[in-house]
Structure 1
Amino acid sequence: MTAYAAVVLSGGAARRMGGVDKPARPVGGRPMLHRVLAAVADAGERIVVGPAGPVPEGVRVTREEPPGGGPVAGTAAGLALLDPGTSTVALLAADLPLLTPAAVAELRSALDGSAAGVACYVDDGGRRQQLCAVWRVSALRAALDRLAAQRGGTVDGAPVRGLLAGTTVREVSWSGSGPPPWFDCDTDEDVRRAEEWTR
């Protein structure tokens, strides 16, 4: 597989957790954001979009425009920092504490073996896990341009599912052992469940 970059979105408001810094919440003794960054430690570039606090050496941090503009605006901000030669990028939420290098590698392999613009996991109910995905950079740029054109030149507040509309998607079912890598922590109960899985 070719080298890739990773963009991790950490700008959510965490309303269901009372507005706490959700990516900084520890699971298994490490902040969720750091667990996600560890899952993409082999990426050529790692970019965090949103408030991040301390990050590992070599990780770059930026903000979406406007701040709080949502995950699509965050995606655009992260993409703007990529080296021009980057061909694939993992697009990930910062609250995926169960993500593993093997899970990212499975998405990368699925994309490499297809003509799709993006590979993303689907859960048992067939729902696409849009922020647990690997994109061809060209397809992601085209999706952002398409969304901006539909919304008067801005992607501020645009829904993530809008990126997938008009993009050929390779859906991937998790075949590995252990908990689903797309499990995200939106509530305190989710954090407790993730803690149990990491024991």
Structure 2
Amino acid sequence: MGTYAAVVLAGGAARRMGGVDKPALPVGGRPMRDRVLAAVADATPRVLVGPVDAVPNGVRVAREDPPGGGPVAAAAAGLALLDPDTTLVALLAADLPLLTRPAIGELLDQLTRVEPQPDGACFVDGDGRRQSLCGVWRVSALRAGLDRLTGERGGSLSGAPVRALLAGLVTREVPWSGDGPPPWFDCDTDEDVRRAEEWAR
């Protein structure tokens, strides 16, 4: 599948959960962000973007500018820490506790082995909604999107939506057909965390 990097976005405010450090909440006995990082253990490098105290060995840490500036600002901070020759990156939310390495492998296959090759591949849920922060993308396409968006917004990426970053990119939408729960399942509420715990047992 070739070498890829991973950028995990952990800077959300978790307003629907009382402002807790959502990625640090445990599912199956492990913080959600650690479960996401484990799913991309073979990525080089792995970058975690957000306010974190401790990370696994070898994980690079970045902070979006400004802090709390949203996922696009966080993506820019993460991409800035990639090695110059990195061509593919998994761009992931930190609240995906059911993400697995086989799911990442499916996205990489769809990005690199299916013709014509797109700019990115991400999962879609059962209703056809793109799960853009559960995807693998060409670094050059994301950087071009960041440059375009920075110009359009007068130099600031703060508050920019992910859909604006990905506008114009050719995206392969991938329905999950593997075993187990959907890898794109994100935890936005306490009830979501309880559901993820049941699946993780």
TM-score range, shorter chain: over 0.9
| Structure 2 unmatched ranges of 5 or more | none
Equivalent position of 1:93 in the other structure: 93
Equivalent position of 1:173 in the other structure: 175
Equivalent position of 2:188 in the other structure: 186
Equivalent position of 1:10 in the other structure: 10
Which whole-Å CA distance do the structure 2 matches of 1:149 and 1:119 have between them? 25
Percent of aligned pairs with the same amino acid:
73
The runs of at least 4 consecutive aligned structure 1 residues that moved more than 2 Å come to: none
Question: Residue 138 in 1 paired to residue 140 in 2?
Answer: yes
Mean alpha-carbon deviation: is it higher for 124-133 or for 146-155? 146-155
Question: Residue 49 in 1 paired to residue 52 in 2?
Answer: no
User: In structure 2, what residue type is equivalent to 1:73?
Assistant: A
Alignment length, in residue pairs?
Answer: 199
Which whole-Å CA distance do the structure 1 matches of 2:128 and 2:190 have between them? 25
Tell me by how many angstroms 1:53 deviates.
Answer: 2.2
Which whole-Å CA distance do the structure 2 matches of 1:88 and 1:48 have between them? 16
Tell me by how many angstroms 1:57 deviates.
Answer: 0.3
Which whole-Å CA distance do the structure 2 matches of 1:108 and 1:53 have between them? 30
- State TM-score, norm by structure 1: 0.98
Mean alpha-carbon deviation: is it higher for 126-135 or for 146-155? 146-155
Equivalent position of 2:66 in the other structure: 66
Equivalent position of 2:199 in the other structure: 197
Tell me by how many angstroms 1:52 deviates.
Answer: 2.0
- State TM-score, norm by structure 2: 0.97
Tell me by how many angstroms 1:152 deviates.
Answer: 1.2
User: In structure 2, what residue type is equivalent to 1:140?
Assistant: L
Q: CA RMSD in A?
A: 0.7
Which whole-Å CA distance do the structure 2 matches of 1:52 and 1:28 have between them? 20
User: What is the DSSP-based 3-state SS (H/G/I as helix, E as strand, rest coil) of the residue aligned with 1:144?
Assistant: helix
Equivalent position of 1:164 in the other structure: 166
Which whole-Å CA distance do the structure 2 matches of 1:53 and 1:161 have between them? 30
Tell me by how many angstroms 1:151 deviates.
Answer: 1.0
User: In structure 1, what residue type is equivalent to 2:104?
Assistant: V
